[in-house]
Chain A
């Protein structure tokens, strides 16, 4: 039997990609995950700009992960300029990272993933059949947006964070409001765990290299060293020893590898590497959801995202308790520019996000490099599909396509802004 599957524009992913799969006599003859977005050239845009502008420019790389890009950029700037932020600044940044991870995961789980489990094409029919489910997702997403609004003005392209600290010091009542908003989310996140507990996740396992930050104390989202169980802990400045990027002819996004292996980044990779550092409530959620670690089923990335969402809510409440009780020290001090090279890495919702800038003695950017999580997962997705296909050849065409799309979607790829439609070419 011959299958020629051309998923032209994979639906319900963030951006624009095609899957080309040609199967003959049960063997894959051709397999390509094509990323056909236009290159964005952000690194080139940074050249010649002052380093303090970089966080505001690179925030525009993504409307979903704007906090992550801003913070990876700020950390790269602070490393280049030898600036050490205060403990309160770091605590507030961690709360903001949690808010972004929460909003991104919830958006993915409720608006993009949930329709698969109800066998409907999108959130619209889901809103008709199960409005309470969609409303719950929107309420949780609003929680994260509110936290960002209170602390940094807005979630998309935040304006309150900058190199060295915050442009506005949150008042006591702001922090009380953040706490209230977080506490209001607890019943909904608990119900979300109940909801996803009942859904049937496809069974498929393939071992790969799970890469993420790893920190001494925290479950690493804001800071740490580069880690996979095959590698020693690597300082972020040595990231080129840890991860290699390569150009692929059919894709406008680069592929990535570590050593001789493709890699997986994101929620499941982080849980595999750092499970013991999760908050107790998140561990309890993992148990309720039937997630045992280490886990090699990429479909379980969705469950891992939910476990992290629980962690982000409870851990944020703990971080609020750690902030100074008196006047917080989060203002921006004097910034002295100097020649240097800085690397900043955070765990964005979809995985490790790298920014690196070289600056001259006037603070002008002379070199820039950004490595985005989705690009790191692409080679791994292709290898997953290669391993998955022999086991699903017995399914109907419709089921086979759905299983493949669900796999790509489980990685929550954020390709770039674009329109979507599904055109399937399936020749026997």
Chain B
């Protein structure tokens, strides 16, 4: 874990409707003039490769879809790894490794973990489709603004930290 840069990583499958919202947000962020100290990456559905992506950074903002259930208050959720209720069974397949499985494996192995904030975007339609639903789309500007805000403070903090050092 030697990289002081901030990673903003979008996860999801753009062929599965709202599941690809993380990637759509990454594509929007790439159009903005973000500082060189931030890496903005379309992570797709990386499976176990996610370990290598995460373990080279100290700070990571992950953007991923969270299934919207009827009755949930619609909105962006910020989730920390400690907030996640991890599966307790041992079923696990190398072809089916999503974010929570990777975090669980990294914790079990006691691997160095970056500080992670997960931006959970409400996903209404997760089924084969290109493009995201109107309901999901309306949260994009708010998500961009929020990511800019927290990544900005992160850069400032890092800068202050290095100055103090």
Contact = CB atoms under 8 A, between A and B. Distances in A.
Contacts of A112: 93-94
A420 B95 contact: yes
B109 to A, nearest CB: 5
B45 A417 contact: yes
Contacts of A156: 44, 46, 49
Contact of B109 (A108, A120, A134): A134
A138 B97 CA distance: 14
Contact of A131 (B44, B45, B52, B110): B110
B104 interface: yes
B49 to A, nearest CB: 6
A294 interface: no
Nearest to B41: A154
B73 to A, nearest CB: 28
Interface string B17-48: 00000000000000000000000000011111
A139 to B, nearest CB: 10
B80 interface: no
A138 B51 contact: yes
B93 A420 contact: yes
A418 B46 contact: no
Given A131-B109, A134-B109, A135-B109, A12 B94 contact: yes
A382 to B, nearest CB: 22
B42 to A, nearest CB: 11
A311 interface: no
A417 B110 contact: no
B83 interface: no
Interface size class of chain B, counting residues whose CB lies under 8 Å from the partner chain: 20 to 34
Contacts of A13: 93, 95
B127 interface: no
Contacts of B105: 123-124, 127, 134
A202 interface: no
A417 B108 CA distance: 25
Interface string B35-69: 00000000011111101100000000000000000
A255 interface: no
Interface in A1-42: 11-15
A111 B105 CA distance: 11
Interface in A333-371: none
A290 interface: no
Interface size class of chain A, counting residues whose CB lies under 8 Å from the partner chain: 20 to 34
Contact of A15 (B47, B95, B109): B95
A419 interface: yes
A112 B111 CA distance: 20
A142 B50 CA distance: 11
Contacts of A417: 45, 95-96
A43 B47 CA distance: 25
A128 B88 CA distance: 13
Contact of A420 (B48, B90, B96, B108): B96
B95 A128 contact: no
Interface string B100-134: 00001100111100000000000000000000000
A134 B108 CA distance: 10
Interface in A112-154: 112, 120-125, 127-128, 131, 134-135, 138, 141-142, 145
B102 to A, nearest CB: 11
A421 interface: yes
A323 interface: no
Contacts of B104: 124
A125 B45 CA distance: 24
B90 to A, nearest CB: 4
A160 to B, nearest CB: 17
Given A124-B104, A127-B105, A145-B49, A14 B44 contact: no
Contacts of B110: 131
Contacts of A15: 95
Given A63-B45, A156-B44, A417-B45, A111 B109 contact: no
B112 to A, nearest CB: 12
Given A134-B109, A417-B95, A418-B95, A121 B90 contact: yes
A127 B44 contact: no
Contacts of A127: 105, 108-109
Nearest to B94: A111
B90 A124 contact: yes
A131 B105 CA distance: 10
A107 interface: yes
B44 to A, nearest CB: 7
A111 B90 contact: no
A422 interface: yes
Given A419-B96, A420-B96, 13 more contacts: A12-B93, A108-B94, A111-B48, A124-B108, A135-B111, A138-B109, A141-B48, A145-B49, A155-B49, A418-B96, A419-B93, A420-B95, A421-B91
Question: Which A-B residue pairs are the 10 nearest by beta carbons?
Answer: A122-B92, A121-B90, A420-B93, A127-B108, A14-B95, A111-B94, A122-B90, A124-B90, A125-B90, A131-B109
11 contacts: A11-B93, A12-B93, A63-B45, A125-B90, A127-B105, A138-B109, A142-B52, A156-B44, A417-B96, A419-B96, A421-B91
